[in-house]
Amino acid sequence: MKAEKIIDIKINRIKTNEVLEEIKSFLLSENQHYIVTLNPEMIIEAQNNIKFKEVINKADLVIPDGIGILWALEFLKKKRSFSIKNKNIIINNFLTKSLLLILALCNFVYTFLKILLSPKYRKNILRFRTHGIDLVYKICESSSIKNKKIFFLGAGEGVAKKAAINLKKKYPNINIVGAEEGIKEKQESGNRNQDLIQRIDEANPDVLFVALGAPKQEIWIHENLKKLPSVKLAIGIGGSFDFISGKIKRAPIVFQKTGLEWLWRLFLEPKRIKRIYNATIKFTYLVLRYRINKF
């Protein structure tokens, strides 16, 4: 599937129904696959974590999880207004950089305001957003999951099990064959991970949802998927189990539809301010700098 890039990180601009079609083909395939649900924090992390960047770029699908990713795609796809190379005049370095900065800032403001002020435009680009939690629900609801076994891995103590119970109530026909929190960071060792792999392997799942947080979940999937031959699809889903289990209340629909769930999370958990700063201010700065350097 054709991919675009944000600061050398691949991403597939794909609608949720198209994601589900791809998943259907993955589950019918003899090969193993994994999906990354990408957010701005992951792009920032990947700039200094080469292994994480490689894992993302090797994924079968990298889908936008959040409006920040979609804004960046819109901003970066704008064609530059001119090319310095085609000018038969000499412009001093300072003036050149200043002009490029002004052009980039104009494009930045235009794209940002269009998303903010135009409901039609915002709705159009949000067609390509698929939150991890929504993907879990859609997969469990999909007919392609019929007779497939699902395993839940990650989140805090008892959270994955509670999420599994809630999903079983919502979708009685789904077959969840295991749910556990996995290995805590201070407990990590080869033996403990091997025991975990063995338990998952014995459950013989077709689909594995991994909620260990990025980049840990993506790297774990990449390093361990081949040890789980029954798994045809693994997906890193971040904090989705927290919402599904009811541990954290999801944002009201109006926040979801406008792409402002991050603002709701900040309201509920002020301690997330650093993460919100990274996902908004720092990410915006990186994208803007990348665009200027590409002129």
Residue 187 belongs to a domain with what CATH number?
Answer: 3.40.50
Encoded tokens for 165:
């119970």
Q: Are residues 96 and 170 in the same domain?
A: no
pLDDT above 90 for 276: no
- The reply to whether 103 falls in a domain is yes
- The reply to whether 272 falls in a domain is no
Q: Are residues 62 and 164 in the same domain?
A: yes
- The reply to whether 286 falls in a domain is yes
Q: Are residues 35 and 143 in the same domain?
A: yes
- The reply to whether 259 falls in a domain is no
Residue 211: phi, psi to the nearest 5? -120, 70
Q: Are residues 48 and 147 in the same domain?
A: yes
Residue 32 or residue 127, greater confidence: 32
**What does the alpha-carbon distance between residue 8 and residue 241 come to, in Å, rounded to a whole number?**
30
Q: Report residue 241's pLDDT band, with 50, 70 and 90 as the boundaries.
A: very high
**What does the alpha-carbon distance between residue 47 and residue 59 come to, in Å, rounded to a whole number?**
17
- The reply to whether 264 falls in a domain is no
**Taking each helix axis from N to C terminus, what angle separates 119-126 and 93-117, rounded to the nearest 10 degrees?**
90
Q: What is the mean pLDDT of residues 245-271?
A: 84
Q: DSSP code of 122?
A: H
Q: Are residues 47 and 100 in the same domain?
A: no
Encoded tokens for 157:
């103590």
Q: Radius of gyration (Cα) for the chain, nearest Å?
A: 21
Share of the chain above pLDDT 90, in %: 56
Q: What is the mean pLDDT of residues 142-150?
A: 87
Q: Are residues 96 and 122 in the same domain?
A: yes
Residue located via tokens 């991050």: 262
Contacts (Cβ under 8 Å, ≥6 apart) of 101? 292
The predicted structure's pLDDT at residue 32:
98
Q: Are residues 167 and 221 in the same domain?
A: yes
Q: Are residues 189 and 92 in the same domain?
A: no
Residue 253: phi, psi to the nearest 5? -55, -40
What is the bridge-based pairing of β-strands 175-180 and 33-38? Answer: unpaired
> How far is CA 191 from its chain centroid?
30
Q: Are residues 99 and 198 in the same domain?
A: no
As a whole number of angstroms, the longest Cα–Cα distance in the chain is: 70
- The reply to whether 253 falls in a domain is no
**What does the alpha-carbon distance between residue 229 and residue 42 come to, in Å, rounded to a whole number?**
27
Q: Are residues 172 and 35 in the same domain?
A: yes
HSE of 277 in the Cβ direction (CA atoms, 13 Å)?
A: 5
Structural domain count, the chain? 2
pLDDT digits (tens, 9 = 90+) for 80-105: 444 444 444 444 565 666 666 676 66
Residue 211 or residue 255, greater confidence: 211
Q: What is the mean pLDDT of residues 241-248?
A: 94
The predicted structure's pLDDT at residue 85:
46
Q: Are residues 137 and 160 in the same domain?
A: yes
* Residue 102: domain span: 71-127+279-293
Q: Are residues 103 and 139 in the same domain?
A: no
**Average pLDDT of the chain?**
86
Q: What is the mean pLDDT of residues 18-40?
A: 96
**What does the alpha-carbon distance between residue 162 and residue 234 come to, in Å, rounded to a whole number?**
20
